[in-house]
Copies of this chain bind each other. A is one copy, B any other.
């Protein structure tokens, strides 16, 4: 620990007590690596402030002392954005103790939630008031509100409700100078200059630490149903979605799964079975919900919606859930894809987006191109077709050495995929962010003026480079490389 770090630790200990800071390596260790074990860092101390005021004071002091701070929520990120550098030059700050739901207003449909609140806990608290916070994702049992805001999280309900940005009605954050940005008041209209709330959403903790958010609530789900549909192509799947959307706004999820990936899940995940009897090249999982008493039951609605789909020849076969257990079983298949894929060996995973209407063609074309360019690999996309966002996985040829493939051909595969995405005007990070994983690819694939603008904003708001150094955009590559 540097003398400046030690001084900060001592001051925080003295002022905010032992709960607010630890230097015990065993306590810190779980938070020094990302949950997938891909990034490993070192932090000589971990702060756990108990309030926004404590965060502000820690950041103010850190700025004075020149101590770098890596903010961390549930540590469920996918791009190493919350993992400190290996050299111990930064200390961790966890929001875990800031876990109060300050208020839930079921009439005004807003809640004020602190950064450290775990998503599933917030779901439950809202549900107790008959309300629903619609954003959800696999890591809901660990992911925190602060991290979800800072990464502008997506998930499976984006089709209807948008990503985190669309659900944030206000923010409170500590800025790099230790001041508190007080923007929690939910104003539907507010044109007072550059929108700092929008700027902080998705900024990955590099220009402010989100300490609380005002979040939009929706009516609780009374009933839901899911359809599992076999289709011939992603094009047919998207046409099916357009047909359905023309008749209802209750479609919440529209996930595409290649037949090949379904087989892997059935092979590797105990207790799963195919929803349909026959084989299909592509499968689609569609969820519809009812939130009002007297509304059409979602299973019946899905049945009606599928009629013209079959008439148009867009679907080969379909089954509609007859119970909540069956809905869960459908989702269990979808949610087990990553686990099943892991069993098949090393793969490069790409969280990409292109315009929605281009995605069907892109998925097929990109997979063919990757398999042609890298003989032996298997490329497949699955996921949020309705958002133009799929997880595009390229599996290594059988028998390769895992580490050397990741370091060699695997990297080349990713560059190849990202080049195709950029050529379509797409995004190399649809929902996971940049962190440290994609920082250099972002530079490679962006016009230099765009990177210059990102750096200028970072330097303007965090001139001393205190917050989450080296993530998203590097100010000084030599010094900041985590």
Chain B residues with CB under 8 A of A180: 449
Q: Are A434 and B187 in contact (CB under 8 A)?
A: no
Which residue of the partner chain, among B190, B442, B473, contacts A353 with CB atoms under 8 Å?
Answer: B190
A201 to B242, CA, bound (A): 29
Q: Are A190 and B429 in contact (CB under 8 A)?
A: yes
Q: Are A196 and B453 in contact (CB under 8 A)?
A: yes
Copies of this chain, whole number:
2
A residues 447-467 in Cβ contact with B at 8 Å = 447, 449-450, 452-454, 456-461
Q: Are B181 and A108 in contact (CB under 8 A)?
A: no
Is A26 engaged at the interface, CB distance under 8 Å to the other chain?
no
Q: Are A199 and B198 in contact (CB under 8 A)?
A: yes
Whether A192 contacts B107 in the complex (CB less than 8 A), given A187-B355, A449-B179, comes out as: no
Chain B residues with CB under 8 A of A42: none
Which residue of the partner chain, among B185, B189, B446, contacts A425 with CB atoms under 8 Å?
Answer: B185
Least Cβ distance of A470 to chain B in Å? 13
Least Cβ distance of A304 to chain B in Å? 13
Chain A, interface residues (CB within 8 Å), range = 35 or more
Is A431 engaged at the interface, CB distance under 8 Å to the other chain?
yes
Is A388 engaged at the interface, CB distance under 8 Å to the other chain?
yes
User: 1/0 per residue A202-225: CB within 8 Å of B?
Assistant: 111001000000000000000000
Q: Are B191 and A429 in contact (CB under 8 A)?
A: yes
Whether A387 contacts B189 in the complex (CB less than 8 A), given A108-B355, A457-B460, A460-B459, comes out as: yes
| Residue from A105, A192, A458 with most neighbouring chain B CB atoms (10 Å) | A192
Which residue of the partner chain, among B191, B389, B442, B461, contacts A188 with CB atoms under 8 Å?
Answer: B389
A204 to B427, CA, bound (A): 27
Least Cβ distance of A77 to chain B in Å? 11
Q: Are B428 and A192 in contact (CB under 8 A)?
A: yes
Chain B residues with CB under 8 A of A381: none
Least Cβ distance of A153 to chain B in Å? 9
A184 to B426, CA, bound (A): 11
Chain B residues with CB under 8 A of A186: 355-356
A249 (CB) vs chain B CBs: closest residue: B249
A472 (CB) vs chain B CBs: closest residue: B193
A357 to B154, CA, bound (A): 29
A186 to B426, CA, bound (A): 9
Q: Are B191 and A152 in contact (CB under 8 A)?
A: yes
Least Cβ distance of A482 to chain B in Å? 16
A366 to B202, CA, bound (A): 37
Is A175 engaged at the interface, CB distance under 8 Å to the other chain?
yes
- Contacts A/B (CB < 8 Å), 8 sampled: A175-B453, A187-B354, A187-B426, A189-B431, A190-B353, A190-B430, A191-B433, A192-B446
What 9 A-B pairs have minimum CB-CB distances, sorted nearest first? A185-B425, A460-B460, A179-B449, A456-B460, A198-B198, A189-B430, A190-B427, A189-B389, A188-B387
